Structure 1
Amino acid sequence: MALLSSPPLSIPKRNHHYAPNPSNPRLQSSVSTTTRAFRLRPIAASHVCTTEESLWIDKSSLIIAETVSEDELWASACLRVRSFYEFEPSTYGVQDHKTCLAEREFEALKERVAGKRSGFTRVSCINATLPLSHLSSISDDLCAVCKFTVNGEDRVVVGSLDINQCLRLPDEIAGMKPEGIGADFARAYLSNVCVAREMHRNGLGYELVEKSKRVAQEWGISDLYVHVAVDNEPAKKLYMKSGFIYEDDEPAWQARFLDRPRRILLWIGLPGIHDL
């Protein structure tokens, strides 16, 4: 799996064919109870694949940056669908399902980045991208699905995350820092953290998180959070390597109600930009 952390939005009970929570601004979709065409991955839980063989990449052309480009946001949405869901290739209409999910994520992502989502002060999408020419021999699917064009160059989104300036994420336990007036401006959460499975073990997750910390400091964020599945040791190691520490546990009843693995909340305090 490629999932490293939670989205800003929650995934609900999974007793349907596919049905992310209507309160979830990220991946909402229609409900079918007949067959299971694909299975939701445990989204809000950080998840890192440690068994699949990964490929070494040349980072000299790697770019990790914020984006508002619709072409690149679409590629980000496609990577998230590719990362957050498992599909049965033989299932009828599976490509239509993928397209539907990508369209919904794309529209929700545009809305959040544009500042139109209630409850979010500010949201930024940060991507890790590589030139298509560096990847064309590695994964045809990744290159076809997550490609975009910028300044005449074809590139591929190989990692992505959102940083969300807000008091709390829907259906998630909230951070406790900072307290009092101004918490909605000084607190932020990482979400939708994913790296293409072919690119694991290249340090892309760590570099995405480090970039997000710098962006958060520029925004004046003092306290940064991320939700992680309680049993996901690789993801916890990634965030702890980045300086995050444990703050709180999700109540067991909440995880059962939402039909997902229980999560923990990790925190890091960020110095002010003038203190660096």
Structure 2
Amino acid sequence: MAVLATPPLAISLPSITSTATSFNCRPQSTTSVPIRSTPRRSAAAASQLCTHENLTIDKSSLNVAVANSEGELWAASCLRVRSFYSFQPSFGIEDHKRYLAEHEFEALKERVAGKRVGFGRVSCINATLPASQVSGLSDDLCSACKFSDDGEDRVVVGTLDLNRCLKLPDEITGMKPKGIGADFARAYLSNVCVAKEMLRNGIGYTLVTNSKMVAEDWGVSDLYVHVAVDNEPAKNLYMKSGFVYESDEPARQARFLDRPRRILLWCGLPITY
């Protein structure tokens, strides 16, 4: 589904264009290189569906869980670069892909380790399939996003971050809950994307459902996600998952940050003791 501190360094290359294969807008301050689900120059692209032919998967082989190895974090980083950008053939493009993936990987490791300022507890949650199944569907995806898990080769086909914190840098701030302890009870989803070949297999919905269960285990009562205002597939996914509208970003803020305007969606989670 085409729904997946301000970066100090911007890369603008004629061979790289943004795509709309992500389910939400990425938070700022995630990496020193901006990897965006929506382009700076064209907000309309955020609502465009990927035209890649979708492939049917064996859902019994799909595993959704928190990443537990650097190899899996690297595979997730590669999927994010692959999903958030469209690369035109040109000299050195593979080096650029790896450059972007390396920056996302380092930033992701820092967030998961609790070393990135502005983020609280962070987990990378991935949907994976056996490489033997993916290679028969997409050799490119298999080679780009493969990792080894306890002796088995698997491929990350969907990914997101669950961030427990009061706010994400440069994003709309959720208002629930209020008072002492809000930094432990509020969380945000970010960097949500599914491999373009695997869209319309329910992977995005499964990722969000799993992230809600992880958030409940953390004691989170209020879960948020930011979505570009014109990303209808994303809004449909989250509303299907129980999210409702809370607020939207002022147009002047979006213009200042040179990006499509966001809305903020909220979902209440049951409190368990």
Pairwise CA distance, 1:2: 5.1
Instruction: Return the TM-score normalized by structure 2.
Output: 0.87
Contact 1:224 1:268 in 2 (8 A): yes
What does 1:60-99 correspond to in 2, within 5 Å?
Answer: 60-90=60-90, 92-99=91-98
TM-score (ref. length: structure 1):
0.86
Following TM superposition, by how much is the alpha carbon of 1:159 offset from its aligned partner in structure 2, in angstroms? 0.2
TM superposition shift of 1:224: 0.2
2:32 to 28, 31, 54: 28
Gap regions ≥5 residues in structure 1: 31-38
Could you give the per-residue CA deviations for residues 125-155 of structure 1, whole angstroms, max 9, x where no partner exists?
A: 0000000111112111100000001111110
Q: Deviation at 1:25?
A: 3.8
CA deviation profile, 1:48-72 (whole Å, cap 9, x unmatched): 7364321110011111000130000
The question of whether the paired residues in 2 share the 8 Å contact of 1:61 and 1:131 is answered with yes
In the aligned structure 2, how far is the partner of 1:188 from the partner of 1:48?
A: 28
- In the alignment, what sits opposite 2:21? none
Structure 1 residues 188 and 47: alpha-carbon distance in aligned structure 2, compared to 1, 3 A threshold: farther
Deviations 1:61-100 (A, max 9, x none): 111000130000000000000011122222x221111111
Deviation at 1:257, TM superposition (A): 1.4
Instruction: Give the residue type in structure 2 aligned to 1:113.
Output: V
Decide whether the 8 Å contact of 2:160 with 2:207 is kept in 1: yes
Point out where structure 2 has 5 or more consecutive residues left out of the alignment.
17-26
Q: How many residues align?
A: 257
| Letter of the structure 2 residue corresponding to residue 234 of structure 1 | P
Are 1:128 and 1:208, in contact at CA under 8 Å, matched by a contact in 2?
yes
Q: Is residue 172 of structure 1 aligned with residue 171 of structure 2?
A: yes
The answer on 1:190 being equivalent to 2:186 is no
Partner of 1:209 in structure 2? 208
Aligned twin of 2:219: 220
Task: Tell me the alpha carbon deviations over residues 209-266 of structure 1, each in whole angstroms, 9 at most, x when there is no partner.
Answer: 0000000000000100000111111110000000000000101011111221111000
Aligned runs of 1:90-239 on 2, under 5 Å? 90=90, 92-239=91-238
CA RMSD of aligned residues (A): 2.5
Deviates more, 1:262-271 or 1:50-59: 50-59
> Deviation at 1:116?
1.3
Percentage identity across paired residues of the two chains: 67
In the aligned structure 1, how far is the partner of 2:257 from the partner of 2:220? 29
Evaluate the alpha carbon distance shift between residue 191 and residue 43 of structure 1 in structure 2; reply closer, same or farther with a 3 A threshold.
farther
